[in-house]
Amino acid sequence: MNYAVAAGHDATADTAVEILKAGGNAFDAAIAAYLTAFIAEPCMASGGGGAFANVYTASGERLLFDFFCQTPKSKQLSAAIDFQPIEVDFGDTTEVFYTGKGSTGVPGSIAGIFAIHEKLGTMPMSELVKIPIQYAKEGIAINDFQALDLSLLEEIFRMHPRSLELFFREDGTRKQIGDVVQMPGLADFLDYMAREGQAAFYQGEIARKIVEDYQHGGGYLTMTDFKDYKVEIREPLAFPFRQKTVLTNPLPSIGGTLLCLMLLELGENAPQQLPQGEEHILQWYRAQREVSKLSRLPEDLRLSLQQVLQRNKKHGSTSHFNIVDQWGNAISLTMTIGEGCGYFVEGTDIHMNNMLGEAALLPHGFHTWDEDVRLSSMMSPTIVLNAGGKAEVVLGSGGASRIATAIAQVIHLLLDYQLPVHEAVNLSRVHLGHDVFNIEKGFNHQLSPDLFEGTLKAWNNQSLFFGGVHTILRHADGRLMASGDDRRDGVVRVG
């Protein structure tokens, strides 16, 4: 076999490999791996969240599955809104998110799984759920990164009685590295889902229970929201860069467009200076500064993108995994629950999202969302095609507003410097946000703050704040290499 997997957890990656070895394709493997991530990466993946999957098939088909969260159809509330601020401390900076039932959008995870399966899957769903069900019953030990994530989000995970049972010890302290998390309710749900299809979540008893709790508890969700949810299948945004073609998440999600604009701002020629020096920092500062001046509204970004592509046309708290199979199928899937809203669906161990509490998704401020629209997102699962039309680089990242800049920098290092994939993924990064230019530890510079508009912030270490860009690279001779991002304890499997 000739396959590669880059993921955020050993269990997620191992599940994908088992499906590939059983004869499944990359898309079968992705479905099973995503379901395993509900148990293995519970701070980032859930049936109550959403995702994007960028797909490139061996026959050359390009598809972007959007199963991100939808805004509710109505802003009318039956009870006072449940919307609570939570501050997350990344060490060198903090960020505020909002939780509670009033922060939840209509989840798309389960619908997305079935959409991928219907169009591209080859194995029955009853087979694809077996490994995730086993993990949910037997449990998975908390590793270093999941322990860190739980510590960051502890306040949210203390909000619901079921969460206290799953993620905390009998003495009330948070589970630590090596402690096992079991989700028997999720095992039962996955078995039911495999038999009943997506209606198991979007219709019937489970949906009615969620709606009842939300209508009486300060949330917006209704049965109509669940019944009417649909996966959007789009053409990926395609743009030229360094004689390659980059495929990424299109509008109305903004992350892929920002990724495109940043890469094109680097200019048409590969830079000559070595990475991680002063010129490298300034180059990325200038590119990010130009993009930061643009409106974040999708329609405004559409115009900016058209202008930049016309100019360049002659030159041609999220997790992620990538899978390339032996036939050349590739999938790049980025998943999220935001930080979670703190509500767990009774009997299923499913944690609902807080996407209406994410400031980065609401450019006009909280509670300004329009009813019944697909939320925009920074998530940007990306595939780079070589001149022969093969998937050469498959990558993506978590990291909220830092996603596009993290992915762009890895692509830049791979294509402009031809660095080994592990080095390109784990070199230090920069990020400009809210007039603060963040420089991760590892750069060699003595730059004056006077060169930058706003604040220059030097970090004391590498941090998950700068994303987690798990990546697969295909060499010219066909060999597959992969790297997980050390910032998020990424893992790889190559066979």
Residue type, 110: I
Q: Is the pLDDT of residue 72 over 90?
A: yes
Radius of gyration, CA atoms only, the chain: 21
Confidence bin at 272 (pLDDT 50/70/90): low
Taking the CA atoms of residue 140, residue 141, residue 147 and residue 149 in that order, the dihedral angle to the nearest 10 degrees is -10
Question: What average pLDDT does the segment 316-323 reach?
Answer: 83
Proportion of the chain in helix, strand, coil states, percent, rounded to 5: 40, 20, 40
Question: What average pLDDT does the segment 440-444 reach?
Answer: 89
Residue type, 80: A
User: What is the model's pLDDT at position 199?
Assistant: 97
Q: Is the pLDDT of residue 44 over 70?
A: yes
Catalytic residues: 318
Q: Is 3 helix (H, G, I), strand (E, B) or coil?
A: coil
Q: Report the chain's mean pLDDT, rounded to a whole number.
A: 92
Report CA-CA distances (Å) from 303 to 76, 142, 157, 297: 34, 45, 41, 10
DSSP string, 152-189: HTHHHHTSSHHHHHHHB-TTSPBP-TT-EE--HHHHHH
Higher pLDDT, 295 or 471: 471
Q: Is the pLDDT of residue 37 over 90?
A: yes
Residue type, 257: T
Q: Is the pLDDT of residue 66 over 90?
A: yes
Domains contained in the chain, CATH given: 4-51+67-230+327-361 (no CATH), 234-320+378-494 (3.60.20)
Higher pLDDT, 450 or 29: 29
pTM: 0.94
Closest to 8 measured CA to CA, from 413, 353, 487: 487
User: What is the model's pLDDT at position 434?
Assistant: 85
Helices marked H in 293-439: 298-312, 403-417, 421-426
Report CA-CA distances (Å) from 432 to 70, 136, 253, 318, 403: 28, 39, 20, 19, 12
Confidence bin at 68 (pLDDT 50/70/90): very high
Higher pLDDT, 296 or 488: 488
- Between 36-40, 68-72, 187-191, 280-284, the lowest mean confidence (pLDDT) is in 280-284
For residues 315 and 250, give the distance between their C-alpha atoms in angstroms, rounded to a whole number.
21
Question: What average pLDDT does the segment 427-442 reach?
Answer: 92
DSSP string, 194-205: HHHTTHHHHSSH
Reported as a single tens digit per residue, the pLDDT across 206-265 is: 999 999 999 999 999 999 999 999 999 999 999 999 889 999 999 888 889 888 888 888
Confidence bin at 316 (pLDDT 50/70/90): very low
User: What is the model's pLDDT at position 313?
Assistant: 43
Residue type, 336: T
